[in-house]
Structure 1
Amino acid sequence: MVFASFLALVAVIAGAVASLAGFGIGSLLTPLLAVKTGISVAVAAIGVAHFTGTALRFLLIRRSVNKKVLLSFGLTSAAGGLTGALLHNVVSNRLLGIVFGGLLILAGTAELTGLAGKIRIKGVFSWFSGALSGLFGGLVGNQGGIRSAALTGFNLGKDEFVATATGIALMVDVARLPVYLAAQWHELIPIWNMIAIASIGVIAGTLFGKRILERLSQDAFTKTVGIILVIIGALMVIRA
């Protein structure tokens, strides 16, 4: 009961963060659920909640999507996501935990130091970073930080950035979620209640996220997310 309540709370926060930044659902929820299920099952389970929240967010802000970026960077990202999902059960849980934790620490550090806002990736490297971010997204359920760093190279406005990042995340989800469900449905059925709690929480956070986060300054918000990512990442590495 205590864990379910905490999962619901974090799900609302994750949905709220994602509604403003375009990512954060997998980063916050996957390591939490992994405490109960292991990282491999958690990635697949949160994939359902991630798809639910991302699809809703896309419907709300789809008019701001940059279609050119969506069809170029997004396609390579979706292809990488499918590849990562196919390799999801091949890589050991220990390695997944280390990679996942390391990514969270790097993403959190980049947010805290301001490096995330200075990274510029252009040309062919944008296509490569799209594929790489999709690969990690399919493999460990976390690609938001890498995707956002890559998207800064396109000089998108704030609304375009969030909407396009959301559209790309949805493309990746469409590519990888069927693989997760086909490979691990027998492990997901026993935890359907946790999946439902996470999904409902993400929906609530997505709908009310901007209102909740408006009271935080951008600097305070960035540092808060960075600290959370570093802490969760460190715990994942230690656990692995």
Structure 2
Amino acid sequence: MKVNYFFLLLALLAEIIGTVGGFGSSVFFVPLGNFYFDFYSVLGMTAIFHLSSNLSKIFFFKKGLDKMLLLYICLPSVLFVIIGGFLSKLVQTATLEIVLGIFLVVFSLLFLIKSEIVVLPKKKNAVIGGTLSGFSAGLLGTGGAIRGLTLAAFNLEKSAFIATSAFIDFLIDFSRTFVYYSNGYIGKQELTYLPFLLVIGFVGTYLGKKILFYIPQGIFRKLSLVLILLIGLATLAQLIVKYSY
């Protein structure tokens, strides 16, 4: 099977930007992957890609894991990513793609216009954030943006933020990989890309960490939101063309 190397380059860029911006690579990887593969294949690849990506983040940013947040965010995330993963098989692909595009546009515009929006650092909000991010990750392939917003409320140090988010995300991806496999989302095509995505996960995280040292995260966060907006608009434009014929 022929490998699309331009797609792999985009995957590397998604990992670098996701690491520095703090949103995670899936918010970029999923919509970009949809330009090359069907939605279910992208879900399968995302789970595989993220296992490597998050292991590398835990390795490079291993200091300062917040055990309290792991408990309150991780448990509902793992439960609801399984639920979302199974529901993804019951919902039409077109509907999932449209919801994803709308989610990207609304999320980016909301935080570009209302940058002062914050989540209060309460245990209840941690559980709600974990629930929503897990369900979104299972159904749409991306939940890092919601989890990042939830974690930001607790004012973690930069490395602790990335490490804690990565540890939660790793358990989410580990859980949904089995669900996606049972759904038939991970087959020969997806496994062909496995070794490439594993390497990209580590290389992209390493480069992202280096960039994070020189560029303030706040500046890169705004750039990331603009990119998310553009990708969301491109996703919706593609769907209009795709389903209008």
Query: Which one-letter code corresponds to 1:193 in the other structure?
Result: T
Distance in 1, Cα, partners of 2:65 & 2:98: 34
Judge conservation of contact 2:34–2:42 (CA < 8 Å) in 1: yes
Question: Which aligned pairs between 1:159-198 and structure 2 lie closer than 5 A?
Answer: 159-184=159-184, 188-198=187-197
Judge conservation of contact 1:12–1:203 (CA < 8 Å) in 2: no
Query: Which one-letter code corresponds to 1:183 in the other structure?
Result: N
Query: Which one-letter code corresponds to 1:228 in the other structure?
Result: L
Question: Which aligned pairs between 1:90-239 and structure 2 lie closer than 5 A?
Answer: 90-113=90-113, 115=115, 118-121=117-120, 122-184=122-184, 188-239=187-238
Query: Which one-letter code corresponds to 1:211 in the other structure?
Result: K
Q: Can you list the C-alpha shifts for 1:129-185, whole angstroms capped at 9, x where unaligned?
A: 211110001111111111111122323232222211111111211211111122225
| Runs of 5+ consecutive residues of structure 1 not aligned to the other structure | none
| Structure holding more helix per residue | 1
Judge conservation of contact 1:45–1:188 (CA < 8 Å) in 2: no
| Runs of 5+ consecutive residues of structure 2 not aligned to the other structure | 240-245
The structural deviation recorded for 1:21 is: 4.2
The residue that corresponds to 2:52 in the other structure is: 52
Query: Which one-letter code corresponds to 2:198 in the other structure?
Result: S
Q: CA RMSD in A?
A: 2.3
Q: Which moved more, 1:124-133 or 1:207-216?
A: 207-216
Distance in 1, Cα, partners of 2:104 & 2:91: 18
The residue that corresponds to 1:76 in the other structure is: 76
Pair 219,132 (structure 1): closer, same or farther in 2 beyond 3 Å: closer
Identity %: 25
- TM-score, normalised relative to structure 2: 0.86
